[in-house]
Amino acid sequence: MLSTSFSTPPPITTNHPPHSPETLATLITTTKTIKQLHQIHAAVIRHNFHNHPQVNFKLQRSYSSFDRLDSCLTLFNHTHNPNVFFYTSIIHSHTVHNLYIKAIKLYIQMISQDVEPNEFTFSAVLKGCRLDIGKLIHTHVVKLGFDSNMHVRTALVDVYSRGGDLYSARQLFDTMPERSLVSLTSMITGYAKHGELVKARALFDAMTERDSVCWNVMIGGYAKYGKPTEALTLFREMLSKKMNPDEVTLVAGLSACGQIGALESGRWIHSYIQNNGVYMNVHLGTALIDMYSKCGSLKDAESIFNKLKNKDVVAYNAMITAYAMHGFSGQALLLFSNMCRMHTARPTDVSFIGILNACAHSGLVSVGKGIFLSMKSKHKTEPTIEHYGCMVNLLGRAGYLEHAYELVTNMKIDPDPVIWGTLLDSCTLHKNVDLAEHIVKFLVDRNLANSGTYILLSNLYAATSDWAGVARMRTLMKDHGVHKEPGCSSIEVHNKVHEFVAGDMNHPSYQKIYMMLEEVNGWLKDHGYIPQTDVALHDLGEKERARSLEVHSEKLAIAFGLISTEAGSTIKIVKNLRVCSDCHEVTKLISKITRRRIVVRDRNRFHSFEDGSCSCGDYW
Q: How far apart are CA 130 and CA 159, in angstroms?
A: 7
**Pairing mode of beta strands 598-601, 606-610:** antiparallel
Q: Is the pLDDT of residue 549 over 90?
A: no
Name residues whose C-beta falls within 8 Å of residue 23's C-beta, 6 or more positions apart in sequence.
12, 14, 16, 17
Q: How far apart are CA 187 and CA 196, in angstroms?
A: 11
More confident residue, 550 or 615: 615
Mean pLDDT of the chain: 90
Per residue in 419-455, pLDDT (tens digit) is: 998 999 999 889 999 999 999 988 888 888 887 888 8
* Strand, coil or helix: 278: coil
554 and 489 in contact (C-beta within 8 Å)? yes
562 and 497 in contact (C-beta within 8 Å)? no
Mean pLDDT of 227-245: 94
Q: Report the percent of the chain where pLDDT is more than 90.
A: 68
Predicted local distance difference test score (pLDDT) of residue 534: 60
Rounded to 5 degrees, what are φ and ψ at 607?
-125, 120
DSSP state of 608: E
* Strand, coil or helix: 535: helix
Confidence of residue 545 (pLDDT cuts 50, 70, 90): low
Residue type, position 404, single letter: A
387 and 372 in contact (C-beta within 8 Å)? yes
Query: How many CA atoms does the CB half-sphere of 444 hold within 13 Å?
Result: 14
For the chain, helix (H) and strand (E) counts, in that order, are 32, 6
Q: How far is CA 523 from the centre of its chain?
A: 42
Q: Is the pLDDT of residue 535 over 70?
A: no
Predicted local distance difference test score (pLDDT) of residue 544: 58
Closest listed residue to residue 265, CA positions, set 78, 420, 493, 96: 493
Predicted local distance difference test score (pLDDT) of residue 4: 34
Query: How many CA atoms does the CB half-sphere of 369 hold within 13 Å?
Result: 11
DSSP string, 38-78: HHHHHHHHHTT-TT-HHHHHHHHHHHHHTT-HHHHHHHHHT
Name residues whose C-beta falls within 8 Å of residue 107's C-beta, 6 or more positions apart in sequence.
87, 91, 117, 121, 125, 137
Predicted local distance difference test score (pLDDT) of residue 17: 52
Closest listed residue to residue 117, CA positions, set 158, 78, 85: 85
Per residue in 97-111, pLDDT (tens digit) is: 999 999 999 999 999
Q: How far apart are CA 228 and CA 259, in angstroms?
A: 6
Per residue in 284-298, pLDDT (tens digit) is: 999 999 999 999 999
Long-range contacts at 209-215 (CB < 8 A, ≥ 24 apart): 209/181, 210/181, 210/241, 210/243, 211/181, 211/185, 212/243, 212/244, 212/245, 212/246, 212/248, 212/249, 213/185, 214/181, 214/184, 214/185, 214/188, 215/243, 215/249
262 and 232 in contact (C-beta within 8 Å)? yes
Mean pLDDT of 468-489: 84
DSSP string, 433-479: HHHHHHHHHHHHHTT---HHHHHHHHHHHHHTT-HHHHHHHHHHHHH
Q: How far apart are CA 257 and CA 301, in angstroms?
A: 14
Q: Is the pLDDT of residue 80 over 90?
A: no
Predicted local distance difference test score (pLDDT) of residue 547: 67
Residue type, position 541, single letter: G
**Pairing mode of beta strands 496-501, 488-493:** antiparallel
DSSP string, 148-191: T-HHHHHHHHHHHHHTT-HHHHHHHHHT-SS--HHHHHHHHHHH
* Strand, coil or helix: 395: helix
Per residue in 113-164, pLDDT (tens digit) is: 999 999 999 999 999 899 999 999 999 999 999 998 999 999 999 999 999 9
Q: How far apart are CA 528 and CA 523, in angstroms?
A: 9
DSSP state of 16: S
Task: Please state the pTM of the whole predicted model.
Answer: 0.81
Residue type, position 537, single letter: L
Predicted local distance difference test score (pLDDT) of residue 180: 87
* Strand, coil or helix: 493: strand
